[in-house]
Amino acid sequence: MARALTVVTEERPGHEALSRAFFADSGRAHTVGLCGSPGSGKSSLINRLVAAARAEGRTVAVLAVDPTSAFTGGAFLGDRLRIQEHALDAGVFMRSLATRGMMGGLNATIFAAIHVLEAAGYGRIIVETVGTGQDEVDVAEVVDTVVCVSAPYQGDEFQAMKAGTMEIGDVFAVNKADLPEVERAVAMLKDALSLAPRRDGGWAPRVAPVSALSGLGVPGLCADVEAHRAHLEASGELAGRRRRQLRRELALVIARRLTRDAMDRVTDRHIDMLAGKTSDPVTLGGRLTSGRA
């Protein structure tokens, strides 16, 4: 499974055949995305969510699509024991896609990676991403439940609004509740959310103060994620989200193929035309896409 993940995320030879094969198992897991500014505590919270899922006997896989994130090496919340505990647990799989495959953020290969983990039987898949809007694909189009993580002192509640996360968050975790200022941040977020229109069959986004450091509020956060999943099923919205994910996945595969195809179509003759100004990129591009050049 680990090798299959490498092949599909790095688009190595054979990745298309693998992706084809794994698609049969797609849609089995509940996928949860955690997004938020660097340092807001996404990795630390995921560590907590993993522990909670394991306590309930669930298997869980984590994909960190974050240039600055790493689950291996270095202290994790200063608690190496905890991560080693997960590292030895066959029910937990963690892969940081930081340095290979996905440099800038989420891209087309995230769907293939998720399908590999689904085929391996992980019932819960967590995706960590900064989610600044610079990603090729929005996390809300990839996962079933979006958790937006912010932290006081960072002006995060405002950044979150700017980056458009107010619209995509199903659950808002205001982390570092062991520090002061959290109540104010929670109140501001709730205010801002109360102005936003209700979405997805009436789900009202939850705002939960939480501390990955102390564990405060973690059970509540887990409950909110479960409640959202239950809501998706009860309201029929899950099918809608899955269709949105499939639409995006297909569009990304098409875009990839068109890009490759476009590169194949461009010949030296076309470059000569541009260099000699006998044509221009817009005209020539139009002709090439319609097969007339």
Ligand X SMILES: Nc1nc2c(ncn2[C@@H]2O[C@H](COP(=O)(O)OP(=O)(O)OP(=O)(O)O)[C@@H](O)[C@H]2O)c(=O)[nH]1
Is 210 within 8 Å of 177 (Cβ atoms)?
yes
For the chain, give percent helix, strand, coil, nearest 5.
50, 15, 35
Question: Per CB under 6 A, does 212 bind ligand X?
Answer: yes
CB of 4 to ligand X, least distance (A): 25
Which of helix, strand or coil describes residue 56?
Answer: coil
Binding residue (CB under 6 A) for ligand X from 31, 40, 107, 109 = 40
DSSP code string of 93-147: EEEE-TTTT-SSS--THHHHHHHHHHHTT-SEEEEEE---S-SSS-GGGT-SEEE
**Is residue 150 a contact residue for ligand X (CB under 6 A)?**
no
Could you give the C-alpha distances from 256 to 138, 201, 253, 259, in angstroms and in order? 17, 33, 5, 5
- Given Mg ion, ligand X, none, residue 175, with its beta carbon under 5 to 8 Å by kind, binds ligand X
Partner whose binding site includes residue 192, from Mg ion, ligand X, none (CB under 5 to 8 Å by kind): none
Among 41, 105, 131, 205, binds ligand X (CB under 6 A): 41
- Which amino acid is residue 276, in one-letter code? G
* Interface map 105-124 toward ligand X (x if CB under 6 A): --------------------
* Residue 38 near which of Mg ion, ligand X, none (CB within 5-8 Å, type-dependent): ligand X
CB of 1 to Mg ion, least distance (A): 22
Residue of the chain from 69, 96, 129, 175 that contacts Mg ion (CB under 5 A): 69
* Phi, psi dihedral angles at 116 (to 5 degrees): -60, -45
Q: Does 44 bind Mg ion (CB under 5 A)?
A: no
Nearer to ligand X, 179 or 254 (CB): 179
List, in order, residues 6 or more apart from 7 with CB less than 8 Å away: 13, 14, 15, 18
**Binding residue (CB under 6 A) for ligand X from 22, 29, 33, 42:** 42
160 close to 190: Cβ distance less than 8 angstroms = no
Exactly one of 14, 20, 21, 38 binds ligand X (CB under 6 A); that residue is 38
* # binding residues, Mg ion (CB under 5 A): 3
Q: Tokens in use for 165?
A: 């996360």
Binding site for ligand X (CB under 6 A): 36, 38-44, 66, 68-69, 77, 130, 175-176, 178-179, 211-213
